[in-house]
Amino acid sequence: MKFGSICALLGLATATLAAVHERAIERKVRRNTISSRSILKRDDTDPTLLYPAYNLSVPVDHFHNDSLYEPHTNEKFNLRYWFDATYYKPGGPVIVLQSGETDGTGRLVYLQKGLLHELAVATNGIGVVLEHRYYGTSWPTANLSTESMRFLTTDQALADEAYFANNVVFEGLEKYNLTAPNTAYLGYGGSYAGAFNAFLRKLYPDVFWGTISSSGVTEAIWDYWAYFEPIREYADQECVAYTQKITHAVDNIFALNDSSTTAELKSAFGLPNVTYNNDFASVLAYGIEGWQGRNWDPAVNDPSFDLYCGNLTSEDIIYPDTEDLSDIVADLLAKGGYEDEVGNLTTPMLNWIGWLADYAVDSCSGSQDACFSTHNATYYAQDDITQDWRSWPYQYCTQWGYLQTGSGVPASQLPLVSRTIDLAYSSLICNYAFNITTPPNVTAINKYGGFNISYPRLAFIDGEVDPWRPATPHASPFNSTAVNRTSTASEPFILISGAVHHWDENGLFANETVNYPPNYLPPPPVKDTQSQEIIFVLEWMAEWQLAQLEKAWGGKSELI
């Protein structure tokens, strides 16, 4: 979920700051029983060539009694999906991976390998990737004006998935009744799609037999300053301290209201032509926000955070062309209130400057405001159907929030990002794009249970160090409202040690795994979690079979 726009939760995969375009290419596990020839063939093939796209016609408006969607419509639209029935045997489930706030094609790899694939093999099921309305090609309206986007709510999308389960006919499998409730439907999703699946199980228990919520952000939060708390807690502490102190110095310089000193600061970082202080501060946060992109799979891991921290904690000046700035940086640190620590902070700040030039500044070929500014009402006013960036901002501006601020951090601690990154700045897109100037209706989301949502056969899988953890049911160390739970087969509650954002979802082909120390792939905590998921899903399916027998015998199952 990047700075200036928000994540992807709920992405998460990258809501407000880090999640508008959340990284959605995490990989998954392939079973070792498949021959190496088959593995290599499938691994070398673009999954869009392996899995044709299908469409199901679904209602644009499922709720004609709700004034939120006036004027109502009876129209339908094409909801895109893909499936793999390679391992299907009669009696097996349909396992739906909700693609969430992204184009569904980015999730197709999960039909090849990963948890979705593993569950399909273990249960003799059908793996499905289902696109979310207003993403990819699943557009209910002809344009993306604010009025047209009124049908983009989580409730409408949940109803889409229930409608899908009740009505889909899979090509080549027409002889089977594969609709709910005749067939067991299981759901999975990560980040926003994780919360989505938690709500899906609770709202449509007669349609979905069980769901897995991975890194599910079930508590909608307007000012999500706590995004940075797991980073502050679990990241390299020397890097954290340098980031906090230099950021504090930057904020202190802004507070001087001295235009010449502010100009000197921006020039030192190679950003002299960034007009707004909060835009400048947002660029400085690029390093710290890279934490969410860390992944155990080297092929999809974002190394930016580790490179950033490696730069800041180096004892040497890494970029020779920054040495000439030493005196200027020392003066800026002194003016920013760190005169006593100039000796300790000068090299980290010089390396921050050098890293940022490499990572972002030098790649800007136009005006710096065009590259880095959020203050762009003209751009955000575009609303034709090609402006697909509008979808997730509309969701967080109207319902989800997750504005990742520095201003919300308690005064008793130093933030990791500038306090100039506040709600007013982070919500500019809401105003410019949708003329929304009020906080989102988070009650529309939190009414389902928030931190403490629970239901039989609803699993919560979260990452210990995930920046989205403070918005999940595993938030207890960061929010006293969340209650820790005991994991059971019916209601699994698993925290993956050392994991970031829905690490259980992705995986490797068998020929990519590493089964020797020290760098096991997948790492033991991930592999163990995925094994547990297969085990409890098999238990859920045993319950399903029992329920079907009870129905056949004329009894009434108490399982729901």
List per-residue pLDDT tens for the chain, 560 residues long: 443 333 344 333 333 333 322 322 222 222 222 222 222 334 557 899 999 999 999 999 999 999 999 999 999 999 999 999 999 999 999 999 999 999 999 999 999 999 999 999 999 999 999 999 999 999 999 999 999 999 999 999 999 999 999 999 999 999 999 999 999 999 999 999 999 999 999 999 999 999 999 999 999 999 999 999 999 999 999 999 999 999 999 999 999 999 999 999 999 999 999 999 999 999 999 999 999 999 998 878 999 999 999 999 999 999 999 999 999 999 999 999 999 999 999 999 999 999 999 999 999 999 999 999 999 999 999 999 999 999 999 999 999 999 999 999 999 999 999 999 999 999 999 999 999 999 999 999 999 999 999 999 999 999 999 999 999 999 999 999 999 999 999 999 999 999 999 999 998 998 888 988 888 999 999 999 999 999 999 999 999 999 999 988 876 555 55
Identify which of 153, 132, 115, 12 has the alpha carbon closest to the alpha carbon of residue 472: 12
Q: What is the DSSP letter of 396?
A: I
Strand partners, 130: 81, 98
Distance CA(171)–CA(166), nearest Å, equals 16
Instruction: State phi, psi for 529 to the nearest 5 degrees.
Output: -65, -45
Q: What is the DSSP letter of 72?
A: P
Distance CA(311)–CA(353), nearest Å, equals 10
Compute how many other C-beta atoms are within 10 angstroms of the C-beta atom of residue 192.
35
What is the Cβ-side half-sphere exposure of residue 55, based on CA atoms within 13 angstroms? 13
Q: 243 is written with which tokens?
A: 């980031």
| Pairing between β-strand 401-403 and β-strand 221-223 as defined by DSSP bridges | parallel
DSSP-based three-state secondary structure for 76: strand
Identify which of 351, 331, 355, 347 has the alpha carbon closest to the alpha carbon of residue 265: 331
Q: Cβ-count burial of 311 within 10 angstroms (0-12 exposed, 13-18 middle, 19+ buried)?
A: buried
Give yes or no: 43 in active site: no
Q: Alpha-carbon dihedral of residues 279, 305, 233, 25, nearest 10 degrees?
A: 100
Which pLDDT belongs to residue 516? 85
Which domains, from first to last, does the chain contain?
52-218+450-554 (3.40.50.1820), 223-434 (no CATH)
Identify which of 57, 56, 53, 109 has the alpha carbon closest to the alpha carbon of residue 82: 53
Which ranges of 276-341 would DSSP assign to H, the alpha helix?
277-284, 286-289, 304-312, 326-333
| Contacts (Cβ under 8 Å, ≥6 apart) of 551 | 557
Give yes or no: 191 in active site: yes
Is residue 466 within 8 Å of 433, Cβ to Cβ?
Answer: no
Model pTM score: 0.91
Q: What is the DSSP letter of 521?
A: B
Strand partners, 521: 514
Rg over alpha carbons for the chain, rounded to the nearest Å, is 24
CA distances from 84 to 15, 87, 112, 121, 386 (A): 30, 8, 9, 11, 30
CA distances from 426 to 188, 290, 437, 496, 525 (A): 30, 18, 12, 31, 35
Q: 488 is written with which tokens?
A: 């059971």
Concatenate the DSSP letters of all residues of 225-271 into one string: GGGGHHHHHHS-HHHHHHHHHHHHHHHHHHHHT-HHHHHHHHHHTT-
Q: Which of 138, 191, 213, 427 is catalytic?
A: 191
Which pLDDT belongs to residue 560? 53
Q: What is the DSSP letter of 70?
A: P
Output the furthest CA–CA distance in the chain (Å, rounded): 85
Q: Which helix (H) or strand (E) holds 346?
A: helix 342-359
Residue type, 261: T
Which pLDDT belongs to residue 19? 30
Q: Which of 251, 297, 462, 466 is catalytic?
A: 466
Strand partners, 212: 188, 459
